[in-house]
Amino acid sequence: MSGTAWPRAVWCIVAEARSNPKKVAGPHRLPWCISRYRPLSQCGHLPADPVLVRDSLVIVMCGRNPLISLRDSGTRALFDNEADLAGGGSETIVAYISDFQNGRMPGGTAVVITNDNCRVAGVSSFTIPDTNAPGFTEFAITLTPDDTLGETGTVTLTVTAPDEVGGNINSATFTCID
């Protein structure tokens, strides 16, 4: 790449020869190991053409304060905070959990659904897995009447971030009438 102006390095990596290349780990079994970094002035002769070393990695940035949004499953409109199951039907509410930037919460975030009336069909607790997928966590809460018809109770969705990021807790509560 002649004619390209490369930025001047200020450090170099000093490699030392190993006496027994068979003990070197890795697929190539190179007889070299990186021992230390030195200022450029102590590196001696450098090659005329620089050797570029690069790699890529995904950095996932997550917030530590969970946000919860509840929506009606049919229209995706904001949920009116009341699930009316009178008449024996069921209702599904869609929950969205995110950080303040509408991104995923960190892996290990606990989600728990508790209720004192109505039944929660399916899973009532889970842990958000580690992932680098973009966006929020979305799941459905399906409610059905319990054995005590005609009563009003509450359903609470609690989200707890892992202790490593502060363990912050947020919850959303709504009414369930059967």
Pair 98, 75 in one domain: yes
Please determine, for residue 19, whether its predicted confidence score (pLDDT) is greater than 80.
Answer: no
Are residues 109 and 163 located together in one domain of the fold?
A: yes
On whether residue 97 sits in a domain, the answer given is yes
The residue with greater pLDDT, 16 or 151, is 151
The per-residue pLDDT for 122 is 82
Q: How many CA atoms lie within 13 A of 76 on its CB side?
A: 3
Residue 61 confidence class, pLDDT cut points 50, 70, 90: confident
Domain check: are 72 and 44 in the same one? no
Evaluate whether residue 95 is within a structural domain: yes
Name the strand (E) or helix (H) holding 116: none
Between 89 and 28, residue with greater pLDDT: 89
Q: Does residue 59 sit within a domain?
A: no
3 in any annotated domain: no
Same-domain pairing of 104 and 153: yes
Across the chain, mean pLDDT equals 76
What digits encode the pLDDT tens for the residues 132-154?
A: 888 899 999 998 888 877 788 89
161-176 pLDDT tens trace:
999 888 899 999 998 8
Mean pLDDT of 15-26: 45
Beta-carbon contacts of 139 under 8 Å, excluding residues fewer than 6 positions away, are 94, 95, 111, 126
Q: Are residues 158 and 77 in the same domain?
A: yes
Instruction: Report the pLDDT value the prediction gives residue 87, as an integer from 0 to 100.
Output: 76
- The number of distinct structural domains making up the chain is 2
Of the candidates 17, 32, 54, which is a domain's last residue? 54
Do both 103 and 24 map to the same domain? no
pLDDT in tens, 23-54: 444 444 444 444 455 555 555 555 555 566 67
Domain residues for the domain of 169 are 67-177
Residue 114 sits in the same domain as residue 157 = yes
93 and 32 both lie in a single domain: no
pTM of the model: 0.66
119 and 165 part of one domain: yes
Looking up residue 121, the CATH number of its domain turns out to be 2.60.40.3880
Q: Are 63 and 99 in contact (CB under 8 A)?
A: yes
Q: How far apart are the C-alpha atoms of 100 and 102, rounded to whole Å?
A: 6
Mark whether 150 and 71 lie in a shared domain: yes
Q: What pLDDT is attached to residue 45?
A: 57
pLDDT reading at 110 higher than 50: yes
